[in-house]
Amino acid sequence: MKKVYFNSLSFIVDEGVYEPSDDSFLLAKNCPNAQGDVLDVGTGCGIGAIVACAANGKNRAIGTDINEGAVENAKKNARANGIWGRCSFIRGDLFENVEGKFDLILFNPPYLPTKNEDGAWDGGTDGRKVIDRFLEGFGEHLKQDGRLIMIDSSLDNTEKTVGKLEKKGFSVRVLEKKHMWFETISVLEARWRAW
């Protein structure tokens, strides 16, 4: 078990749960102006959902994760940070068990290219195994004036992600980039083009 901090919030990270790293903190940093109903896909210890709820006393968030341990971990962190009533967590693969549409969808996908691995970082051979599945389904859960904020890495070809979003009718902008020694992490914001 480890403990990490973001602003005034603290997060316990249980064994077997993805520990927030540079990508998680970049996502959290870019959602303090969250408004309305929030969906945090692949929530891990709950950092995205909890930061979004803490940003505004009226926000409600649902976090999903395929890892049952992560779901239980996120519930503990929501209680510890005093927002349990507005933050809930469910087990599911991407949008499995998710109903309704949201003002904001957060996503920090597994994007590391891997071979035959199984873990929170496993993006498949090209890093896109989960990203492409997410891009196919997230629009069904986004309100017309809603937005997506997601992490993408040069390791999985950020230009390809942007191209797929634009082809689906979204305008995309880069909110922030962080250059690492082996990759560039980007925070992408996508909105339906009509907005």
Instruction: Kindly report, residue by residue over 102-154, the tens digit of the pLDDT.
Output: 999 999 998 665 666 555 555 456 668 799 999 999 999 999 999 999 999 99
Q: Is residue 15 part of a domain?
A: no
Eight-class DSSP state of 20: P
Residue 63 lies in a domain: yes
Q: Which residues of 61-94 are buried (b: 16+ CB within 10 A; e: fewer)?
A: bbbbbebeebbebbbbbbeebebbebbbbeeeeb
Is there a domain that residue 2 lies in? no
182 part of a folded domain? yes
Strands (E) in the chain, as ranges, are: 2-6, 9-13, 37-41, 60-65, 87-91, 102-107, 142-153, 170-179, 184-192
Q: Is residue 11 part of a domain?
A: no
Residue 142 lies in a domain: yes
Give a yes or no: residue 13 inside a domain: no
CATH assignment at residue 141 = 3.40.50.150
* Distance separating alpha carbons of residues 195 and 44, to the nearest angstrom: 31
Q: What is the domain count for the chain?
A: 1
- The terminus-to-terminus CA distance of the chain in angstroms comes to 43
For the segment 21-61, what is each residue's pLDDT rounded down to a tens digit? 999 999 999 987 788 999 999 999 999 999 999 887 788 99
pTM for the structure as a whole: 0.92
The domain in which residue 107 lies consists of: 22-192
What phi, psi does 188 have (nearest 5°)?
-100, 140
Q: Is residue 127 part of a domain?
A: yes
